A = this chain, B = another copy of it.
């Protein structure tokens, strides 16, 4: 079977462009404009003329079009970019408009400056939290546990990589990191020869699509591969080693983007080991990057992963705030903090991370997770845009989509980043419909004002351009509330965790309850939930802006859907929805399961209406989702029935 082209189905696009003749009108050529010509001629096989008069569509660059160098304008017979990359984006926008049958009239500039994808791919070919096959970058020739290996660890499938780069450019992504932030074994050596040269080959291809390539590093690299005795950021030899290493990277990859760093987190090494803080660590690296305009992207996912459940004052949710808020203003201009949208870890439901809006003098990236670690592993349907949009529009001293750049000293050093969800699977994502999330992430970065519904409609129109409108509508209905459906049958009302440890799919209600990861629900015979109030709990609620804190501090004001994240609540407590907590738990879990049953029925009605590969793929996933929803429903309901002793109002079956 051919590899899925995602929304860029060349044969269909070619048909829609049969009557078009393109002319590229440029003063200067560069690698991106050459790529553009190749996209027209070679990829799509369209007519590219040397005579302007013959053309039906003229492509050109006009630096006066917009202040934003990535902007474009598409008209009936014209595509203009502020720069060559703007023009490339304009070309894909033109394809999008053509395919969806919209008016050929769109002037647009990206809302977020940095629009980045992180890969958690590992040199042995596996992907941490990957649910769609092996890595497209690395092959399974090596092992993560070895330090050196004779064989080539790269997959070298440049056909696939080019398809991927095209997809990224087509949704406006402009930066990518290739390897997992947990950098171990041989992965540590990607920044040095002979591996960096191979990274360079990928980076060179990606650059033609306007993509900057980044690598994740192991903080201890100077010790591990540099033969130094320390990785102390204030040690002169450490700095020298990094400067030399970075100099060499730029010899090989002149437009290298920079580094991504997970330090002092979940057992990874970091500056804390040497009594230094994160600004010391990041700024040392940043200095070595200065002359190249390279970036240091520093993750704030730092917490004590040895939390003792016995002490209820411990609160992992507070960790990033406590570690980084005191450093606001201390980071160099080419350092960016990469901050997860929520305070825990991409959960089904979390409030906004309170650092957003609070950090005023620090470059910021808001981090999302496209790969469905906590959202059903691309087995369960889960169109997640509504959740993400809620985060970027959450008001804590202003809404993140505005404050992120406003609070970043260098506004262009800010934006959105997400962990990708693709692998070597034929449809890239394991579940064909999970492509919508990747597509949607790109579109959300570019235009913060699009709604989840608009993005989904757009994606459906592009991905299934030849199916009937009713069929698109049916798939739309399946997906649009699928994130809420998943939430319904998961851990109740944002209490978090309750899933199988490490694997993070399926229920294990006490899986983390007495473990060291700080993810507790505190359920007992009377109620459940985490008290994060200032008066009687961990005080996390007070980290928000006063208007927000006032809501979260007060059980009666906290919205139902986030209630158990902030409060311990008794089973008989009446919620805003007019029902008791226990009845809400039961109702949600029965409803979640029923919804999945209806998805299956709905999907079956589409047999023969969508291509067979997609039909079979989604049908198989839905059966597994039903089993998952059933397990969640029954285990959650039984657990809380055993705890509370309160039967279901409606007398539905809850196993003893």
A interface residues, Cβ below 8 angstroms from B = 309-310, 312, 507-510, 514, 522-526, 631, 634-635, 638-639, 641-645, 655-656
- Minimum C-beta distance from A516 to chain B (A): 11
- A526–B645 contact, CB under 8 A? yes
Q: Which residues of B contact A523 (CB under 8 A)?
A: 642
Alpha-carbon distance between A522 and B639 when the two chains are bound, in angstroms: 10
Q: Which residues of B contact A645 (CB under 8 A)?
A: 524-526
Q: Which residues of B contact A310 (CB under 8 A)?
A: 634, 655
Interface of chain A, main secondary structure: loop
Q: A312-B656, A655-B309 are in contact. Are A644 and B525 (CB under 8 A)?
A: yes
Q: Which residues of B contact A309 (CB under 8 A)?
A: 655
- Minimum C-beta distance from A508 to chain B (A): 7
- Minimum C-beta distance from A26 to chain B (A): 55
| A-B contacts, 21 listed (Cβ < 8 Å) | A310-B634, A312-B656, A508-B510, A509-B510, A509-B514, A510-B510, A510-B639, A514-B631, A514-B634, A514-B638, A523-B642, A524-B641, A524-B643, A524-B645, A524-B656, A525-B525, A525-B642, A525-B644, A525-B645, A526-B645, A643-B643
Alpha-carbon distance between A509 and B515 when the two chains are bound, in angstroms: 12
Q: A507-B514, A509-B510, A510-B509 are in contact. Are A524 and B312 (CB under 8 A)?
A: no
A635 and chain B: residue at smallest CB distance: B514
- Minimum C-beta distance from A209 to chain B (A): 38
Alpha-carbon distance between A525 and B525 when the two chains are bound, in angstroms: 6
Could you say how many copies of this chain the assembly holds? Answer: 2
A644 and chain B: residue at smallest CB distance: B525
Q: Which residues of B contact A643 (CB under 8 A)?
A: 524-525, 643
**New A-B pairs, 18, CB < 8 Å, besides A510-B639, A525-B642:** A309-B655, A310-B634, A312-B656, A507-B514, A509-B510, A509-B514, A510-B510, A514-B631, A514-B634, A514-B635, A514-B638, A523-B642, A524-B642, A524-B643, A524-B656, A525-B525, A525-B644, A525-B645
From A312, A510, A634, name the one whose CB has the most chain B CB atoms within 10 angstroms.
Answer: A510
Alpha-carbon distance between A524 and B641 when the two chains are bound, in angstroms: 8
Q: Which residues of B contact A522 (CB under 8 A)?
A: 656
Alpha-carbon distance between A635 and B526 when the two chains are bound, in angstroms: 18
Q: Which residues of B contact A656 (CB under 8 A)?
A: 312, 522, 524
Alpha-carbon distance between A522 and B656 when the two chains are bound, in angstroms: 8
Q: Which residues of B contact A644 (CB under 8 A)?
A: 525
Alpha-carbon distance between A530 and B639 when the two chains are bound, in angstroms: 16
Q: Which residues of B contact A510 (CB under 8 A)?
A: 508-510, 639
A645 and chain B: residue at smallest CB distance: B525
Alpha-carbon distance between A641 and B523 when the two chains are bound, in angstroms: 11
A636 and chain B: residue at smallest CB distance: B514
- Minimum C-beta distance from A169 to chain B (A): 40
Q: Which residues of B contact A509 (CB under 8 A)?
A: 510, 514
Q: Which residues of B contact A514 (CB under 8 A)?
A: 507-509, 631, 634-635, 638
Alpha-carbon distance between A524 and B643 when the two chains are bound, in angstroms: 6
Q: Which residues of B contact A641 (CB under 8 A)?
A: 524
Alpha-carbon distance between A645 and B508 when the two chains are bound, in angstroms: 23
- Minimum C-beta distance from A443 to chain B (A): 39
Alpha-carbon distance between A638 and B524 when the two chains are bound, in angstroms: 9
- Minimum C-beta distance from A502 to chain B (A): 11
A528 and chain B: residue at smallest CB distance: B642
A312 and chain B: residue at smallest CB distance: B656
